[in-house]
Amino acid sequence: MDENPTLPTTASPLRRSLPGWLLALTLTTFTFSTDDYLVAGVLPGIADDLDVAEAAVGQLVTVFSLVFALAAPVAAVVTATWPRRPLFTAALTVFAAANFAMPLVDSFALLMALRVVAALAAAVVLPGALGAAAALAPRERQGRYMGTVFAGLTTSLLLGVPLGTWAGAVAGWQGAFVLGGLLGVASLAALHATLPEPPRGAPLRLADRLAPLARPALLVGLAGPAVAVLGNLMVLTYLAVYLRDLAGIGPTGLGAVFVLAGLAGIAGSQLGGPAADRWGAERALLMGCGAFALVMLGLVACWPLRPAPLVLVVPLLLLWSAAAWWIPPAASARLLRLAGPAGAQALALNSSAVYFGVAAGGAAGGVLLDAAGSGALPAGAAAAQVVALALFGLASRRGASQGEP
């Protein structure tokens, strides 16, 4: 295989901008993000079949995200000098096997254990995939290529989760995990066929990767996105339960909701970054978190109308998704300014912080669901956004007081 990542000058403009290995890496991030959120679309079915509480099933998202958040920085250090192609092959094989095994279990404990295995495999691949994209990209296109790989994460809500939801509607919740396994096989085949062995820079010690945590402004800056994601996942993890209770929406309708919400989320992510450039990250974050909280309060107001009309509920869900995905680009821009020369390490830590937020959102939503029912979830999510906004403001003040960028 040609080890040179640059394409011939005779290649078409489309091929130059979207090489096969870039699409394969994007498919891989799409696969892992889809697998993390698959549970949201089939949560009631798992609860019924395995005879466990719906709040407990939500912890399948929590465990996957928590294991990923803890393991990814360690895996990035341990595997820093390992060749990427055999590493990705081994990890994706384990990931696909874990997903294919999930439909065969009849114990919630075994299902949870397999989710841990899948998360460990994802933690090995995803940091390396992002590093490979940066290493193989032409210098003048590095930002664009990295953005394309990250798009796999957001696109999972548009395509992956609805596909999993519909697979669950047709073949039971087991069908959703079969889809996760098939995506793993597709990612493995695509990477094997297209990915050159990328160059690797000097490895960083784990202490070097964690060094930005010693700066208070950065620590608070990392907490803001984590809490914002926590609020989002409090609702997203249990969306099937919430919409069933609020408006009587079943699995097929839920798949359509995920598609529409994914489209709105992509629009929000595309608008949040330019808004931060134009008006400043602080103002963009105020707009995003404020809009999120207001939409959640709108959903709270819908609860007494059960079954609430879809013409009222669906627009609120679209605004929620747009606001939720508006926040990350502005938060990342603010974090980079706070980090200065430590920007790369800060962004790596931000990935773990976001997955901690995903894990905490699933856990907090489960507690709230058990204690007060699904109708309380939007109120909890609104409160989380207020806390996130306070953390963003605190990070800005600390950064200014310490003379940070």
How far apart (Å, rounded) are the C-alpha atoms in residues 28 and 4? 21
Give pLDDT tens digits along the chain (405 positions).
Answer: 333 443 333 344 444 567 899 999 999 989 998 998 888 889 999 999 999 999 999 999 989 989 988 888 788 778 877 888 999 999 999 999 999 999 999 899 999 999 999 999 999 888 788 778 877 878 767 656 766 777 787 678 778 888 888 888 888 999 999 999 999 999 999 999 999 988 765 666 666 666 666 677 778 878 888 999 999 999 998 999 999 999 999 887 888 888 888 888 878 877 887 888 888 888 889 999 999 999 999 999 999 999 999 999 999 999 999 999 888 878 877 776 777 666 556 666 777 788 889 889 989 999 999 999 999 999 999 999 999 999 888 866 655 444 444
Torsion angle (degrees, nearest 10) of CA 60, 65, 154, 243: 30
**Helix axes 281-302 and 310-339, enclosed angle (nearest 10):** 150
pTM (2 decimals)?
0.76
Q: What are the backbone angles phi and psi of residue 32, rounded to the nearest 5°?
A: -70, -40
**DSSP per position, 227-264:** HHHHHHHHHHTTHHHHHHHHH---HHHHHHHHHHHHHH
Cα separation of the two ends of the chain: 43
